[in-house]
Amino acid sequence: MRMNEPDVLDVLERVGAFKKGHFVFTSGLHSDTYINKDSVYPYTRETSLLCRAFAEKFADKEIDVVVGPAVGAAILSQWTAHHLSEIRGKNVFGVYADKDGAGGFILKRGYDKVSAGKRVLVVEDLVTTGGSVKKVVDALRAIGAQVVGVAVLCNRGNVPKSAVGDPDEFYALVNVELDTWTDGSCPLCERHVPINTDMGHGKEYLAAKMQS
């Protein structure tokens, strides 16, 4: 039986993924809710269940390789490739893309050769703007891979398919609309609610503020 959105939300709540407070996302947006995807990964059974849902969704797409951006999504790529291999009865590779040091992603460690010319599924945990996923999609296309789809655990920013590189299919296990604000319009900042520096990019945000 395929997982539906309530099933996915139940898993995320069970592992303590939803946090309340004052957070800064990678995009620079502020929010009172944070989805801590890192809390999922220690729970191997739950991670496997979520990736099984990815695999079932794309089981008929003849995927050759599953790619996730480092770091966390490398775990998703492994589990998703494992389940696709079992479903299809053939070996589906699970690899990851490294940051290139210049704001983009690159396929290294021989993973470029594994992925070149192949049908690829890109997996990610969360998307807020889609920018990071698009960089992985661009890196794959640059080596001649065909990006058949992008699958994410949670679309938390109403991100459209065009924002992640316009793959053949963009799929989210769950869509969560969070209240977000820009730096200058954040009501939490106005009320001087402390920014969480343990999750998200609050620490980097405050460091940049100190330097400006």
Maximum C-alpha span of the chain: 56
Task: Give the number of domains in the chain.
Answer: 1
Print burial letters for 83-92: b (CB count within 10 Å at least 16), e (below 16).
Answer: bbbebeeeeb
What amino acid is encoded at 15 in this protein? V
What 3-state class would DSSP assign to 48? Answer: helix
User: What is the residue type of 100?
Assistant: D
Q: Provide the CATH number for the domain around residue 23.
A: 3.40.50.2020
- Give 156's Cβ-side CA count (13 Å radius): 24
Residue spans of alpha helices (H) in the chain:
5-14, 44-57, 73-88, 111-115, 131-142, 187-190, 202-211
Report which residue type is found at 165: G
Per the prediction, the chain carries an average pLDDT of 93
Structural domain range at position 73:
5-211
- Residue 211 pLDDT > 90: no
Q: How do residues 108-140 score in pLDDT, each as one tens digit?
A: 999 999 999 999 999 999 998 889 999 999 999
- Residue 212, pLDDT > 80, answer no
